[in-house]
Structure 1
């Protein structure tokens, strides 16, 4: 039985995907029954073919392909829908999220007495990015934290672990992956945080720039603030016969 599904949303990461998959196997073998789901967001560099070739010797590896590029949140959502595990972990396909950090995400959710925890969010330390990217991220995180009070210093980290059914109850929207702590807390779940390391990007280049992130982030932040204010506050309890 699959306990943990590891979802990798990726686009044009042919130079990074195979070392990443090797690292996942090295980090997770013997720690949980797991599967790996690569969600190919319309790659044009042959990444999907590399994953398909690897699947012959790795029965726990799966490939999902988008017919239209949908971005990171769409990739995560497609992977979670397909997942067989009750716990899902995500990490980016560019190799910047070290796979050896994955047990920090799923072991707390598999532990006895952890039923109240819905999300374990990775928090990057020692970020290996350009100064402009780090400054833009710091500003965005400060603004989001002030507006949502989500008690999370780094929501942009791709390393996250969460309960599948709880995630699927969240309202889906593009870029929702950056607001998971606030959305899980909105539904009454506890959110745990763990420090994780960070690496320089391997091959290729990022699919997004700071201007794109800033523009969509401002619109999304307003939408998430609205969602938090409109959350359901009543909780139903079924009564037995009197």
Structure 2
């Protein structure tokens, strides 16, 4: 394997880690395993998958152990309790050592095969973010997402159409420098831009959830983004960034 947080393995060029946060997804995982294996067979760069078990209380941990123990490109970490999506993504970034790092949900509402559309934009861009075309969500979920995206763009003017699309690839150097906080996953493109990074958005397919249940409801899709956006504005106004004009030898 070529992911590690020990410092014993040097980062390799043109390698990719897919982070998959998992919280009580026992019904979705079998189909996800098949979809990610198909992607691994077509990926143009050496690719590993790192599942982050975010304190699941169902059979997800057992399914991850069983599959990852037999597949050399699949790995998992189990957190000691449920921390939430932002922490799971940070844990994945902290424990990968590849030049690119991506993120996808385990519910298969987006498909790993769409990652194949992203690679042509590197190294010109520092992040590629999906735009979920023809979303197959409930009306309430669509409306709450539209409201949250509109409010975020109004408040921080990041120009991103679908910041929470769960299909992203980032240069790992940029991912590691992102300031992390609860709710950070809603601002990953803006956090890359904060470092001066270039973000490209491209359309990706979107599908109905075929198994399991969503972990989000109207309250946490509206109240959370409201306060998180205020937190991001505060953090951005105090973010330290500088350039060096000259130095001694």
TM-score normalised by length of structure 2: 0.90
Partner deviation per Cα, 1:45-103 (whole Å, 9 max, x = no partner): 11111111112331111011111101111111111111121101101111111111112
Write the distance in 2 (CA, Å) between the matches of 1:215 and 1:129: 19
Matches within 5 A, 1:1-242: 3-30=15-42, 31-109=44-122, 111=123, 114=124, 117-237=125-245, 239-241=247-249
Deviation at 1:165, TM superposition (A): 2.1
Structure 1, unaligned runs of 5 or more: none
Deviation at 1:16, TM superposition (A): 1.0
Moved over 4 A (4+): none
CA RMSD, Structure 1 to Structure 2 (Å): 1.5
Write the distance in 1 (CA, Å) between the matches of 2:53 and 2:96: 15
Write the distance in 2 (CA, Å) between the matches of 1:100 and 1:25: 10
Write the distance in 2 (CA, Å) between the matches of 1:118 and 1:155: 15
Deviation at 1:180, TM superposition (A): 1.1
Partner deviation per Cα, 1:14-72 (whole Å, 9 max, x = no partner): 11112212212212324110100111111121111111111233111101111110111
Deviation at 1:106, TM superposition (A): 3.8
Write the distance in 1 (CA, Å) between the matches of 2:18 and 2:183: 19
Structure 1 range deviating more: 186-195 or 53-62? 53-62
